[in-house]
């Protein structure tokens, strides 16, 4: 297959842990060819197909200079067997526009994973609200009075922006309510922006678990991201320690319930975040943790993903 990865700059990849890199490595191992570009390289001119300025690359196997460029060219996205949208958040206006270009590319005949419409329809924090049976007490609002009421009821809460990633902008407010007003004003920008408020889950001390769902099926191991020191966030980007573990019975219950639904909507890969028994986010833009799980357990997550990708492409062709 000819694969196009739309991602962040290749030069920024940390290949010892980058999930997109692990996908590329497994794809090349199987004989698939790889091209890469960034969202700003995608274009659409009147009367023509959606195109992109891409680099055809080969992975070298070296830590330094991990890829070499065979050629650069402008090509229609429909010319690839699969287009993988792997751009990291934030899901801003440019990401939104990119999904529209990718949806037009689908009309041209491109096969895009994850499906652009599904990316738009599943904002990573808001998406959990569709599954109340699996989440803890949660509020989405821009109104400070709603937040005060929620805090008065639950006493210990987490506040976070809807468009954050890597633990960015997450605050905890305890029973004393210290700085609740100031934090609210910061996150809701004086009432102009919505945010999410959740009851604090003390099980975070045991880790914020990333449960991967590939082709509707759970990977049997998760990565528990454990906060360090006085930090409340388990995100690896915020200094959390990643420990791979087998899925619990509850993790499997969640994954088996959500997996077929997400797959039916065009989400080949999703990362469900679970604290204790509660889902806290459903990551669909560029879920990670492939390498950490593989390195610690031997479970070949990149191979599971490329298996699912090959099956999805073959099914669409057939």
| Structural domains of the chain sorted by starting position, each given as residue range(s) with its CATH number in brackets | 2-114 (3.40.50.20), 137-200 (3.30.1490.20), 203-313 (3.30.470.20)
SS3 category, 168: coil
Least confident of 18-27, 84-93, 240-249: 84-93
d(CA 30, CA 161): 40
Those residues with Cβ within 8 angstroms of residue 6's Cβ, 6 or more apart along the chain or in another chain: 36, 37, 38, 39, 41, 42, 52, 83, 84, 85, 86, 87, 98, 102
153 is catalytic: no
87, 160, 199, 209: which one is catalytic? 160
Query: Mean of the pLDDT values across residues 290-312?
Result: 98
Query: Mean of the pLDDT values across residues 113-140?
Result: 96
210 is catalytic: yes
Residue 289 clears pLDDT 90, i.e. is over it:
yes
Q: What percent of the chain has pLDDT over 70?
A: 99
17 is catalytic: no
Residues 94, 122, 76, 107, CA torsion sign: negative
Query: Mean of the pLDDT values across residues 23-29?
Result: 98
Report the pLDDT value the prediction gives residue 240, as an integer from 0 to 100: 85
Q: pLDDT per residue over 127-159, tens digit each?
A: 999 999 999 999 999 999 999 999 999 999 999
Query: Mean of the pLDDT values across residues 231-257?
Result: 89
Q: pTM here?
A: 0.94
Report the pLDDT value the prediction gives residue 238, as an integer from 0 to 100: 67
- Return mean pLDDT, the chain: 95
What are the φ/ψ torsions at residue 117 (nearest 5 degrees)? -65, -40
d(CA 232, CA 212): 23
Report the pLDDT value the prediction gives residue 104, as an integer from 0 to 100: 98
283 is catalytic: yes
125 is catalytic: yes
25, 55, 87, 233: which one is catalytic? 233
145 is catalytic: no
């Amino acid at each position: 297959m000819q694969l196009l990865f739309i991602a962040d700059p290749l030069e920024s990849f940390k290949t010892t842990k980058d999930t997109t890199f692990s996908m590329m490595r497994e794809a090349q191992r199987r004989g698939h060819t790889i091209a890469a570009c960034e969202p700003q390289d995608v274009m659409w001119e009147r009367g023509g197909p959606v195109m992109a300025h891409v680099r055809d690359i080969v992975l070298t196997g070296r830590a330094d200079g991990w890829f070499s460029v065979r050629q650069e060219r402008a090509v229609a996205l429909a010319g690839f067997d699969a287009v993988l949208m792997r751009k990291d958040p934030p899901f801003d206006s440019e990401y939104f526009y990119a999904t529209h270009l990718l949806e037009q590319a689908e009309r041209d005949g491109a096969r895009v994973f994850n499906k652009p419409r599904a990316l738009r329809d599943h904002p990573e924090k808001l998406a959990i609200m569709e599954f109340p049976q699996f989440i803890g007490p949660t509020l989405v609002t821009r109104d400070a009075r709603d937040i005060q009421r929620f805090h008065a009821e639950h006493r210990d809460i987490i506040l976070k922006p809807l468009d954050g990633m890597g633990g960015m902008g997450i605050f905890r407010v305890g029973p004393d309510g210290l700085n609740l007003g100031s934090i609210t004003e910061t996150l809701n920008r004086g009432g102009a922006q919505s945010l999410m408020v959740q009851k604090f889950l003390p099980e975070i001390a045991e880790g914020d678990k990333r449960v991967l769902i590939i082709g509707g099926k759970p990977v049997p191991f998760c990565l528990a991201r454990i906060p360090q020191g006085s930090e409340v966030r388990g995100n690896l980007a915020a200094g959390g320690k990643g420990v791979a573990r087998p899925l619990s019975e509850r993790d499997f219950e969640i994954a088996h319930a959500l997996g077929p639904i997400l797959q039916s909507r065009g989400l080949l890969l999703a990362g469900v975040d679970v604290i204790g028994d509660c889902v806290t986010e459903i990551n669909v833009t560029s879920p990670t943790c492939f390498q950490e799980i593989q390195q610690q357990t031997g479970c070949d997550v990149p191979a599971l993903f490329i298996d699912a990708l090959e099956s999805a492409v073959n099914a669409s062709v057939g």
